[in-house]
């Protein structure tokens, strides 16, 4: 496998000849390990599954959060990491300190394949030097999760249109009437921020429901297939007042930081649904809390939040207190491991 055109099994660093030594830094099923070896004989895949947290489901790159290595296991794990030409996964997946330690301790390391979303943010947080970034190539699985995330978007938009929080509240209270209005996706206009791999998957599914789709683009040009209209990200505040749903699929970059800010949220149509499957930093979360409290955002489905550990007690007491929490918010495992 050639990575970035700079290194391959037949042109390795420092003149070494032979197989590329890949060390498993995050969990992977043994059947898949054998498949990798079968499909790519130029690799030697080093793994000791006892040093990795047990997987709870397929593609569980972080494993059981309660699992811990013994001191001896940690030493052995770091020995393996420090012997690698390439790593499958970032150690600890989102552990910037572990990544920084490994890159500094292993001068032969040339390639890290990040498996979970948010790998770029972890690399930035590791504070690697220019020389280290020149030496080590970082690649991601961009687009692999497009289908599942697009389905989550549809779920979030349907939950908002069908007033899921009200349905749940009525069921808990054993109240079966009177009737109230529910929206239909076929009648809705949805703004999709980001038309990359995930965004295109979202558009495809929204078109199947009959939605009118507005997308964002920084350069002028014809809308891509399935998109009815393109707007510049700088014009969001002028657009959100005519949409029923907002979908965020954007990565974390300086250009996307708090793109959904207080001004944009102040301009939304009351009752708008917000779904975020991009990065939490795209949304001004304190402003979102205010918009949820006064009904400008009728429902928010958040697969991600700005803080890797979720909403902190100090900044977001409503996410922790039964008396204060907002019923119109759904946080997935990526956010807070619960549904509010």
DSSP string, 248-271: E-----TTTTTSB-HHHHHTSPTT
* Helix H or strand E segment including 272: strand 272-276
Residue 251 has pLDDT above 90, yes or no: no
CA distance 284 to 290: 10
For residues 289-297, give the mean pLDDT. Answer: 89
Q: Which of 157-161, 280-284, 332-336 has the lowest mean pLDDT?
A: 332-336
Residue 54 phi/psi, 5° resolution? -60, 140
Q: pLDDT tens digits for 101-123?
A: 999 999 999 999 998 877 888 89
DSSP type of residue 290 = H
- Show Cβ contacts of residue 165 under 8 Å, excluding neighbours closer than 6 positions: 299, 327, 328
Q: Decide: 272 and 246 in contact? Cβ < 8 Å.
A: yes
- pLDDT value of position 327: 59
Q: Which of 10-14, 223-227, 257-261, 319-323 has the lowest mean pLDDT?
A: 10-14
Query: Residue written as tokens 């970034």?
Result: 133
pTM of the model: 0.76
CA distance 329 to 215: 24
Instruction: State the average pLDDT for the chain.
Output: 86
Q: pLDDT tens digits for 36-86?
A: 999 999 999 999 999 999 999 888 888 898 999 999 999 999 999 999 999
Residue 337 has pLDDT above 50, yes or no: no
Q: Which token pair is 244?
A: 């029923």
Structural domains for the chain: 13-139 (3.40.50), 146-331 (3.40.50.720)
Cis, peptide link before residue 159, omega less than 30° from 0: no
For residues 231-260, give the mean pLDDT. Answer: 94
- pLDDT value of position 6: 40
Query: Beta-carbon neighbour count of residue 299 at 10 Å?
Result: 27
CA distance 317 to 299: 18
Query: Residue written as tokens 């969001």?
Result: 236
Residue 220 has pLDDT above 80, yes or no: yes
Closest Cα partner for 275 from 237, 246, 306? Answer: 246
Torsion sign (Cα): 87, 93, 94, 99:
negative
* Burial (CB count within 10 angstroms: exposed 0-12, middle 13-18, buried 19+), residue 137: middle
Residue 1 has pLDDT above 60, yes or no: no
CA distance 330 to 186: 23
- pLDDT value of position 11: 40
For residues 220-234, give the mean pLDDT. Answer: 93
* Burial (CB count within 10 angstroms: exposed 0-12, middle 13-18, buried 19+), residue 44: middle
CA distance 334 to 198: 17
Closest Cα partner for 91 from 59, 53, 36? Answer: 53
CA distance 51 to 39: 25
Query: Beta-carbon neighbour count of residue 275 at 10 Å?
Result: 28
């Amino acid at each position: 496998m050639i990575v970035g055109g700079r290194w391959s099994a037949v042109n390795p660093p420092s003149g070494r000849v032979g197989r590329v030594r890949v060390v498993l830094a995050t969990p992977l099923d043994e059947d898949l390990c054998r498949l990798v070896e079968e499909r790519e004989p130029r690799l030697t895949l080093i793994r000791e599954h006892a040093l990795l947290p047990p997987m709870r489901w397929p593609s569980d790159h972080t494993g059981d959060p309660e699992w811990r290595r013994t001191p001896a296991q940690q030493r052995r794990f770091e020995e393996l990491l420090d012997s690698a030409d390439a790593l499958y996964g970032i150690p600890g997946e989102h552990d910037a300190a572990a990544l920084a330690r490994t890159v500094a301790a292993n001068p032969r390391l040339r390639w890290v394949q990040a498996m979970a979303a948010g790998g770029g943010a972890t690399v930035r947080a590791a504070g690697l030097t220019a020389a280290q970034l020149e030496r080590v190539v970082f690649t991601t699985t961009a687009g692999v999760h497009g289908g599942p995330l697009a389905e989550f978007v549809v779920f979030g938009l349907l939950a908002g249109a069908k007033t899921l929080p009200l349905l749940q509240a009525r069921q808990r209270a054993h109240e079966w009437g009177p009737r109230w209005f529910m929206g239909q996706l076929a009648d809705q206009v949805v703004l999709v921020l980001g038309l990359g791999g995930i965004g295109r998957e979202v558009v495809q599914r929204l078109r199947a429901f009959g939605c009118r789709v507005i997308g964002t683009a920084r350069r002028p040009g014809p809308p891509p297939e399935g998109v009815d209209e393109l707007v510049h990200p700088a014009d969001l505040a002028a657009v959100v007042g005519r949409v029923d749903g907002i979908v965020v699929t954007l990565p974390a970059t300086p250009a996307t930081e708090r793109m959904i800010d207080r001004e944009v949220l102040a301009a939304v149509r009351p009752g708008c649904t917000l779904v975020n499957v991009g990065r939490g930093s795209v949304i001004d979360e304190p402003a979102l809390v205010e918009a949820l409290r006064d009904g400008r955002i009728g429902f928010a489905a958040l697969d991600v939040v700005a803080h890797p550990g979720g909403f902190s007690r100090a900044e977001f007491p409503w996410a922790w207190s039964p008396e204060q929490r907002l019923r119109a918010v759904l946080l997935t495992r990526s956010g807070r491991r619960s549904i509010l």
